[in-house]
Chains A and B, each alone.
Chain A
Amino acid sequence: MDPLRRNLRLRSRLLQATRDFFLERDFIEIETPLRVATPALESHIDAIPSGSGFLRTSPELHMKRLLAAGHSRIFQIGPCFRHGERGDLHNPEYTMLEWYRADANYSDVLVDTKTLVDSVARAVVGSTSLTYQGRAIELMPVWDYCRVRDLYLEHAGWDPVANFDGDRFDRDMTAKVMPAIAQGRPVIMADYPASAAALARLKPTQPEVAERWELCIGGLELANAYSELTDAAEQRTRFESCARERHQRGQAVYEIDEKFMRALESGLPDCAGVALGIDRLAMLLADASRIGDVMAFREELS
């Protein structure tokens, strides 16, 4: 069978297994708008305009509005769009899985993630022992849990928590840290510097780091998770500083999503969420080196 055909069958099983996983655990599948009035403000994510608004870069803000409205276990699988992201691991249009739990923190959703990876690997490829790009990978039972500070001290020789430097942080992540941890089992990079918190809350006992983790397997960055920031005032401050930063770099500055802010002000329960790239997980399970190898139609627009 030709590889794309085989990979699309695998992808279909992956989508099915993912839905089964969440539905069995009392999550409900929801859909939120693809076209939004304003995208979430993030330092390095650019949105693609659509009509009077934008294509969503992530479903995060709408999903949090549902949490604020009382939904406690929700998941969504759907497309997201990011301007200019095109490479072996990126496509401007791709498929994201996001799930959120009320009354949970980033450790609780790590348990979800590990169980999900275990369960979909068994359902899709019948095993948790894989080969990815020539490297043997044991998805279970051990995941290495590493703190971001320790990873940088060991592999890049500096402490990003004590002295944050965004440029250097990003450069060393791809050049030093990620290659070093592309080992035979999954790695969790946890507790990002507060300056790289994005929408995560700071750790109450250690406010110089944020309750955020990322999952890497075989050199692929698969998922990003937070204990969600629920403090509306703090969120507004972060959005405003992000807007200033974007303005200084000459990037488009998006309006703050006031409907989301009102939901936060009305009260978002303690909650945690994970965003996981379905295409990347399909790449891992299919042993594909390029994202286009697991997509039926690689985006045609340039």
Chain B
Amino acid sequence: MFSASDLRKGLKVEIDGAPYVITDFSFVKPGKGQAIYNCKLKNMVNGSTLSRAYRSNDKLAKPELSNRKFQYSYADGDDYIFMDDKYEQVTLSAAILGDSRHFLVEDTEIEVLYYRGQPMDVTLPTFVEKAIVDTEPGVRGDTATNVLKPAKIAGGYEIQVPIFINQGDTVRIDTRTGQYSDRVSKA
């Protein structure tokens, strides 16, 4: 259990059976009055937010959270198969992976957050490299402007890339935003 005086930004707590992270915290105490611990919290499963004001004698449960590292092996329909360093396999669904599934590269190490033994969220490396498998031919000579065009990456997901990118180029993608970062190699 956490008591109110343990609360601080970044702490993970459990409210109504769901894990939350404190995203904003302030301590206020009017003269001679009770301390009030104002928290903004984000639900770690669905991303919804709440504001709560706690008092000194309030208690909060500690969520059962753990992290495990896996390497990506392969996809089987909507199932994604990963393996840990002891060759133990786990299967994560497309629903849990969300858009992250488009940026998986074989042997990439990912971190899975478990809540009460259930996989809940995955964290990919910040940048991954993917080959461009389909896009309009690049426009020569225009590497400075910010004009973007659609391009399919290996696996078929579509991202926006600068117009100078060609089919067969390899690009780096920021997995936090799903956006093109830079070109790694030319076709």
Binding site for B on A (CB under 8 A): 42-45, 84-90, 166-167, 169-171, 173-174, 178, 196, 198, 214, 221, 224, 249-251
Which of chain A's residues have a CB closer than 8 A to the CB of B27? 85-88, 90
Given contacts A171-B53, A251-B57, whether A84 and B26 have CB atoms under 8 Å apart is: no
Given contacts A44-B56, A250-B57, A251-B57, whether A87 and B26 have CB atoms under 8 Å apart is: yes
Assess whether B36 is interfacial by the CB under 8 Å rule.
yes
Q: Could you tell me which residues of chain B, from 20 to 61, have a CB within 8 Å of some CB in chain A?
A: 26-36, 53, 55-57
Which of chain A's residues have a CB closer than 8 A to the CB of B36? 170-171, 174
Which of chain B's residues have a CB closer than 8 A to the CB of A90? 27, 29
Tell whether, in the assembled complex, residue A224 and residue B57 are in contact, meaning their CB atoms are under 8 Å apart.
Answer: no
Tell whether, in the assembled complex, residue B31 and residue A224 are in contact, meaning their CB atoms are under 8 Å apart.
Answer: yes
Given contacts A85-B35, A249-B57, whether A173 and B30 have CB atoms under 8 Å apart is: yes
Which of B27, B34, B57 gathers the greatest number of chain A CB atoms within 10 Å?
B34
Tell whether, in the assembled complex, residue B32 and residue A87 are in contact, meaning their CB atoms are under 8 Å apart.
Answer: no
Assess whether B5 is interfacial by the CB under 8 Å rule.
yes
Q: In the complex, which residue of chain A has the Cβ closest to the Cβ of B37?
A: A87
Q: How far is the CB of A169 from chain B (nearest CB, A)?
A: 7
Tell whether, in the assembled complex, residue B33 and residue A173 are in contact, meaning their CB atoms are under 8 Å apart.
Answer: yes
Cα–Cα distance between A70 and B80 once the two chains are bound (Å): 83
Q: In the complex, which residue of chain B has the Cβ closest to the Cβ of A89?
A: B28
Tell whether, in the assembled complex, residue A44 and residue B33 are in contact, meaning their CB atoms are under 8 Å apart.
Answer: yes
Q: How far is the CB of A283 from chain B (nearest CB, A)?
A: 15
Given contacts A44-B35, A85-B35, whether A174 and B57 have CB atoms under 8 Å apart is: no
* 9 residue pairs A–B, Cβ–Cβ below 8 Å: A43-B32, A44-B29, A86-B27, A87-B28, A87-B29, A167-B55, A173-B33, A249-B56, A250-B57
Which of chain A's residues have a CB closer than 8 A to the CB of B56? 44, 84, 249, 251
| Interchain CB contact (< 8 A) of B33 among A84, A86, A170, A249 | A170
Number of A-B contacts (CB under 8 A): 58
Binding site for A on B (CB under 8 A): 5, 26-36, 53, 55-57
Tell whether, in the assembled complex, residue A224 and residue B30 are in contact, meaning their CB atoms are under 8 Å apart.
Answer: no
Cα–Cα distance between A43 and B56 once the two chains are bound (Å): 12
Given contacts A84-B5, A86-B27, A87-B26, whether A198 and B32 have CB atoms under 8 Å apart is: yes
Tell whether, in the assembled complex, residue A88 and residue B32 are in contact, meaning their CB atoms are under 8 Å apart.
Answer: no
Q: How far is the CB of A158 from chain B (nearest CB, A)?
A: 16
Which of chain A's residues have a CB closer than 8 A to the CB of B28? 87, 89, 174
Q: How far is the CB of B1 from chain A (nearest CB, A)?
A: 13
| Interchain CB contact (< 8 A) of B35 among A42, A84, A167, A249 | A84
Q: How far is the CB of A292 from chain B (nearest CB, A)?
A: 13
Tell whether, in the assembled complex, residue A166 and residue B34 are in contact, meaning their CB atoms are under 8 Å apart.
Answer: yes
Tell whether, in the assembled complex, residue B30 and residue A170 are in contact, meaning their CB atoms are under 8 Å apart.
Answer: yes
Which of chain B's residues have a CB closer than 8 A to the CB of A44? 29, 32-35, 56
Q: In the complex, which residue of chain B has the Cβ closest to the Cβ of A224?
A: B31
Q: How far is the CB of B87 from chain A (nearest CB, A)?
A: 42
Which of chain A's residues have a CB closer than 8 A to the CB of B31? 214, 221, 224
Tell whether, in the assembled complex, residue A174 and residue B32 are in contact, meaning their CB atoms are under 8 Å apart.
Answer: no
Q: How far is the CB of B154 from chain A (nearest CB, A)?
A: 48
Q: How far is the CB of B118 from chain A (nearest CB, A)?
A: 32
Which of chain B's residues have a CB closer than 8 A to the CB of A214? 31
Tell whether, in the assembled complex, residue A196 and residue B32 are in contact, meaning their CB atoms are under 8 Å apart.
Answer: yes
Cα–Cα distance between A287 and B84 once the two chains are bound (Å): 54
Which of chain B's residues have a CB closer than 8 A to the CB of A221? 30-31
Q: A170-B30, A196-B32 are in contact. List 20 more A-B contacts (CB 8 A).
A: A43-B32, A43-B34, A44-B35, A45-B32, A84-B5, A85-B27, A85-B29, A87-B27, A87-B28, A89-B28, A167-B34, A167-B55, A173-B30, A174-B29, A174-B30, A174-B36, A178-B30, A249-B56, A249-B57, A251-B57
Q: How far is the CB of A200 from chain B (nearest CB, A)?
A: 10
Which of B26, B27, B33, B55 gathers the greatest number of chain A CB atoms within 10 Å?
B33
Which of chain B's residues have a CB closer than 8 A to the CB of A45? 32
Given contacts A84-B5, A249-B57, A250-B57, whether A224 and B32 have CB atoms under 8 Å apart is: yes
Cα–Cα distance between A196 and B57 once the two chains are bound (Å): 20
Which of chain A's residues have a CB closer than 8 A to the CB of B57? 249-251
Which of B28, B31, B56 gathers the greatest number of chain A CB atoms within 10 Å?
B31
Cα–Cα distance between A86 and B9 once the two chains are bound (Å): 13
Q: How far is the CB of A269 from chain B (nearest CB, A)?
A: 24
